[in-house]
A and B are shown apart, each in its own frame.
Chain A
Amino acid sequence: MSGNLEFKASAALTIGTELELQILNSRDYNLARDAADLIGLIEKNGHPGAVKPEITESMIELNSSVHQRHETLAAELRELRDAVVRAAERLNVRIAGGGSHPFHNWNDRRVYPTERFKQILELYGYLAKQFTIFGQHVHVGCPTGDEAIYLVHMLSRYVPHFIALSASSPFQQGEDTSYQSSRLNTVSAFPLSGQMPFVHSWGEFIEYFNKMRGYGIVESMKDFYWDVRPKPEYGTVEVRVFDTPLTVERAAALVAYVQSLARHLLSDRPRAPSRDVYTLHNYNRFQACRYGLQGVFIDGYTERHVSLRDDVLETLSILAPHAAELGAGAALEDIAGHVRADASDAKWLREAYRERGSLNDVARMQSDRWMGRAVAPG
């Protein structure tokens, strides 16, 4: 049984990312339904990485290839973005980042017609259509399964950082949710969301997995919607709590943050996994979703209450030497600059709304920003 859940070793600290994006019409900037035509056209034109459908026809997922360094990843994402923009302009649709569409109605969505997505609709009902939310997944390569398990536990402490740094879903269904990231509330409704159980090794993990499969609850790793999960078929640890940022540059910087953090955790081994981190997990996670960097963070190791903002800045200074080694210094500096200036994508979206007074305009500006309107029409 365990044979098909072998952890496929990959080079340590290699990185890759997946970005789920919104497809908007160019009339009122509501979600459109052109995923199939868009993917078809992008494939015809050629592009780096991969382009895939997601649960509903209003979504598209971009995958980078595997990289060692932030710089090449960012360059590839820009190239991929330009390819997507060219195809989108041909079809008169727009592409936007951001964790949620500000005003679409979930019941207008239609599930992308593949077997897997139809099964998800069958199983989860309306939750499947509400799952039209947009996240970024970050992969970090691990040489062994045991290291992956360690990294999953250790990265869990930083889940609130990831949420606050990427938060870009303040609006949903035409309302200001008052959250910085409302997207994760939607994810939480799924029964297999949350955290990986407190296992200590890859062996223990396989035992757990086989038990779940024995119950008939899961078929593959894909069925777990955990915040951080091992991905044995890629040989990576996957962080799944990021909202898709408003630009690919920001997305690349967040990958650099995870990479530097992983280097610090795997090479310095600063602490051992702790159950206390998980005890506090839901509270910290909520604070990050609700208040972003202004949220309160309780450190499971020191029991200290700090603001998330301070904890991120402190972490950034610990990571500086690692980032320098990885060639990610500039990216992390950029993140630090944003944190110090109290800038965030959620804030940008709220300001756009204050300025324009219309969520249609917010969606338009969101797409202008992602498409980097400098690209010449093709």
Chain B
Amino acid sequence: MSTFLPQFPPPASPLALFGLLLIAGVIGGELAHRVARLPRIVGYVVTGMVLGASGFNVLDAKLVDEAWIFVEIALGLVLFELGLRLDFAWLRRDRWLLATGLAESALSYALMYFALVFLDVGSLHAAVAAAIGVSTSPAVVMLVAQELRAEGQVTERALNLVAINSVVAFVLSTMLLSWIHHEYRASWTVAVLHPIYLFSGSLLLGYAAFLAALWMSRWIGKRADAHFVVLLALIIASIGVARMLELSALIALLVFGVFSRNYDERHDLVAVDLSVVGQLFFVVLFVVGGARLELFELAAGGTVALAYILARFAGKSLAVMSLAPFSRVRPGVAGMLCLALTPMSGMALAMVQGTASLYPEFTARLSTIVLSAAVVLELFGPLAVQFAFRHAGEAKDPGEQP
């Protein structure tokens, strides 16, 4: 008789979850923006924290897992767009920019590693945490740039530096997989072959997506609406295939973007604005990101997390301050770039997630360090980026909220 009625309580639906997270995020973002004139991202993260483990725990680990697919799509979009910003021709013409990117990655890695080891963190954990810390959150930098409609040398250079340090972080953390396997006594074949499989497989996947995009573009012709669908389809398909083949969707999409920017020699691809769709997923990305943060982890991480954050900032800033001025833009650019490189968030979480599936006990210790640092950097990072772009005069109307 009552078979047509739902069970009580009804089983959670990922779609309902997606919609509700979006609405909660939008409300949080608007409040942050209206009440405190903060970047909306901060509002999304705080919403996540309130709903998540640090708050009412409505958005618990199980729901976070269910929402994870949306996070992956969001990150996929971000990394694809980030790849589009990485311009080899520019790096060849302004080698100081490339040097700045490599130096800030290397120096911050070294300082984070030594700071952690100095504080008695095991060297493997220190190495992996440092590798993750090399990357600046591309989602935060791109979203703040979008929100402010920032454009100019600081914005463009910041995004290229973020792309460089993301590549470095991916390479480092993939290589470190060998060490993790070795530590947990996996066979040497696994230790050697896993990183090779992961890296080359993801690279090939990204390259294949690029070839497919190129082929479709030539066939369709220059129609932006059709290109939009094709790109989105390829991005989502790449994420799915990466999951099926145990590859890294993030690396694949970064590669897809980089190829699209640098190897579309006949200019077949049409510049497509993915930001409208991106916006949807970004809200969920930051809400879920916030939900994963645990304030008590900050206490647990304590001095270690603080040292990690400081070492990261010192390494990045030292390199940027000493090398960026050689690019001879205007004075003050280097300082703004240092600030723009501070955020750390969504991607770090995903990278932690990546290793979690292999050795949960390894991840537990790692996430205490990385996630407690992320609590701080996810909240203050957007502010730093907003300040940098505004102060550089690159926001659409400086000082005025968009």
Q: Please list the residues of chain A having a beta carbon within 8 angstroms of any beta carbon in chain B.
A: 25-29, 32-34, 36-37, 40-41, 44, 89-92, 108, 110, 356-358, 360-361, 364, 377-378
* Contact pick for A36, options B92, B149, B222, B330, CB 8 Å: B330
Q: Given A358-B222, A361-B267 in contact, is the A34-B92 Cβ separation under 8 Å?
A: no
Describe B's contact surface by its main secondary structure: loop
* Contact pick for B156, options A41, A92, A360, A361, CB 8 Å: A92
Q: Is the CB of A32 within 8 A of B151?
A: yes
Interface centre among B85, B89, B93 (most CB of A within 10 A): B93
CB of B345 to closest CB in A, whole Å: 25
| Docked pose: A92 CA to B154 CA in angstroms | 12
Q: Given A33-B394, A92-B87 in contact, is the A357-B221 Cβ separation under 8 Å?
A: yes
| Docked pose: A44 CA to B153 CA in angstroms | 17
| Docked pose: A89 CA to B87 CA in angstroms | 12
Instruction: Report A-chain residues with C-beta under 8 Å of the C-beta of B397.
Output: 110
Q: Is the CB of A377 within 8 A of B93?
A: yes
Whether, in the assembled complex, B270 has its beta carbon less than 8 Å from a beta carbon of chain A, the answer is yes
Count class of interface residues, chain B: 20 to 34
Q: Is the CB of B271 within 8 A of A89?
A: no
* Contact pick for B152, options A27, A37, A108, A364, CB 8 Å: A37
Q: Is the CB of A90 within 8 A of B93?
A: yes
- From B160, which residue of chain A is reached at the shortest CB distance? A92
Instruction: Report A-chain residues with C-beta under 8 Å of the C-beta of B327.
Output: 90
Interface centre among B84, B94, B151, B271 (most CB of A within 10 A): B151
* Contact pick for A90, options B84, B221, B328, CB 8 Å: B328
Q: Please list the residues of chain B having a beta carbon within 8 angstroms of any beta carbon in chain A.
A: 84-85, 87, 89-90, 92-94, 149, 151-153, 156, 221-222, 261, 267, 270-271, 327-330, 394, 396-397
9 new A-B pairs (CB below 8 Å) besides A89-B93, A90-B94, A90-B328?
A26-B87, A27-B261, A32-B152, A33-B394, A41-B329, A108-B396, A356-B222, A361-B267, A364-B267
Instruction: Report B-chain residues with C-beta under 8 Å of the C-beta of A356.
Output: 222, 267
A and B contact pairs by CB, cutoff 8 A, 22 listed = A27-B84, A27-B85, A28-B271, A29-B271, A32-B151, A33-B152, A33-B394, A37-B152, A37-B329, A40-B329, A40-B330, A41-B328, A92-B87, A92-B94, A92-B156, A110-B396, A110-B397, A356-B222, A358-B222, A360-B271, A377-B92, A377-B93
Interface centre among B85, B93, B153, B221 (most CB of A within 10 A): B153
Q: Given A27-B84, A357-B222 in contact, is the A378-B93 Cβ separation under 8 Å?
A: yes
* Contact pick for A26, options B90, B92, B221, B222, CB 8 Å: B90
- From A40, which residue of chain B is reached at the shortest CB distance? B330
Instruction: Report B-chain residues with C-beta under 8 Å of the C-beta of A29.
Output: 271
Q: Is the CB of A37 within 8 A of B156?
A: no
* Contact pick for B93, options A28, A92, A358, A364, CB 8 Å: A92
Instruction: Report A-chain residues with C-beta under 8 Å of the C-beta of B149.
Output: 108
10 shortest interchain CB distances as A-B pairs: A28-B271, A357-B222, A358-B222, A92-B90, A377-B93, A89-B93, A33-B151, A37-B153, A40-B330, A90-B94
Q: Is the CB of B94 within 8 A of A358?
A: no
Q: Is the CB of A34 within 8 A of B153?
A: yes
- From A36, which residue of chain B is reached at the shortest CB distance? B330
| Docked pose: A40 CA to B94 CA in angstroms | 16
Instruction: Report B-chain residues with C-beta under 8 Å of the C-beta of A44.
Output: 328
Q: Is the CB of B152 within 8 A of A34?
A: yes
Q: Is the CB of B153 within 8 A of A358?
A: no
Instruction: Report A-chain residues with C-beta under 8 Å of the C-beta of B93.
Output: 89-90, 92, 377-378
Q: Is the CB of B222 within 8 A of A91?
A: no
CB of A216 to closest CB in B, whole Å: 31
Instruction: Report A-chain residues with C-beta under 8 Å of the C-beta of B221.
Output: 357
CB of A175 to closest CB in B, whole Å: 15
| Docked pose: A257 CA to B270 CA in angstroms | 40
- From A378, which residue of chain B is reached at the shortest CB distance? B93
| Docked pose: A94 CA to B368 CA in angstroms | 46
Instruction: Report B-chain residues with C-beta under 8 Å of the C-beta of A36.
Output: 330
Interface centre among A41, A110, A364 (most CB of B within 10 A): A110
Instruction: Report B-chain residues with C-beta under 8 Å of the C-beta of A361.
Output: 222, 267
| Docked pose: A33 CA to B397 CA in angstroms | 13
| Docked pose: A378 CA to B270 CA in angstroms | 29
CB of B388 to closest CB in A, whole Å: 15
| Docked pose: A91 CA to B97 CA in angstroms | 10
Instruction: Report B-chain residues with C-beta under 8 Å of the C-beta of A378.
Output: 93
| Docked pose: A89 CA to B89 CA in angstroms | 9
Instruction: Report A-chain residues with C-beta under 8 Å of the C-beta of B222.
Output: 356-358, 361
| Docked pose: A377 CA to B271 CA in angstroms | 25
Instruction: Report A-chain residues with C-beta under 8 Å of the C-beta of B330.
Output: 36-37, 40
Q: Given A33-B152, A37-B152, A90-B328 in contact, is the A27-B90 Cβ separation under 8 Å?
A: no
| Docked pose: A32 CA to B397 CA in angstroms | 15
CB of A76 to closest CB in B, whole Å: 24
CB of B294 to closest CB in A, whole Å: 39
Instruction: Report B-chain residues with C-beta under 8 Å of the C-beta of A28.
Output: 271
Q: Given A356-B222, A364-B267 in contact, is the A91-B329 Cβ separation under 8 Å?
A: yes
Instruction: Report A-chain residues with C-beta under 8 Å of the C-beta of B92.
Output: 377
- From A110, which residue of chain B is reached at the shortest CB distance? B396
Instruction: Report B-chain residues with C-beta under 8 Å of the C-beta of A90.
Output: 93-94, 327-328
| Docked pose: A378 CA to B95 CA in angstroms | 10
CB of B53 to closest CB in A, whole Å: 39
Instruction: Report B-chain residues with C-beta under 8 Å of the C-beta of A26.
Output: 87, 89-90
Instruction: Report A-chain residues with C-beta under 8 Å of the C-beta of B85.
Output: 27
Instruction: Report A-chain residues with C-beta under 8 Å of the C-beta of B394.
Output: 33
Instruction: Report A-chain residues with C-beta under 8 Å of the C-beta of B396.
Output: 108, 110
- From B157, which residue of chain A is reached at the shortest CB distance? A92
- From B221, which residue of chain A is reached at the shortest CB distance? A357
Instruction: Report A-chain residues with C-beta under 8 Å of the C-beta of B94.
Output: 90, 92
- From B273, which residue of chain A is reached at the shortest CB distance? A28
Instruction: Report B-chain residues with C-beta under 8 Å of the C-beta of A33.
Output: 151-152, 394
Instruction: Report B-chain residues with C-beta under 8 Å of the C-beta of A360.
Output: 270-271
* Contact pick for B270, options A25, A32, A110, A358, CB 8 Å: A358
Instruction: Report A-chain residues with C-beta under 8 Å of the C-beta of B89.
Output: 26, 92
Q: Is the CB of A27 within 8 A of B153?
A: no
| Docked pose: A92 CA to B93 CA in angstroms | 8
| Docked pose: A32 CA to B221 CA in angstroms | 26
| Docked pose: A34 CA to B328 CA in angstroms | 14
* Contact pick for A27, options B270, B271, B328, CB 8 Å: B271
| Docked pose: A29 CA to B397 CA in angstroms | 22
| Docked pose: A36 CA to B331 CA in angstroms | 12
CB of A234 to closest CB in B, whole Å: 31
Instruction: Report A-chain residues with C-beta under 8 Å of the C-beta of B328.
Output: 41, 44, 90
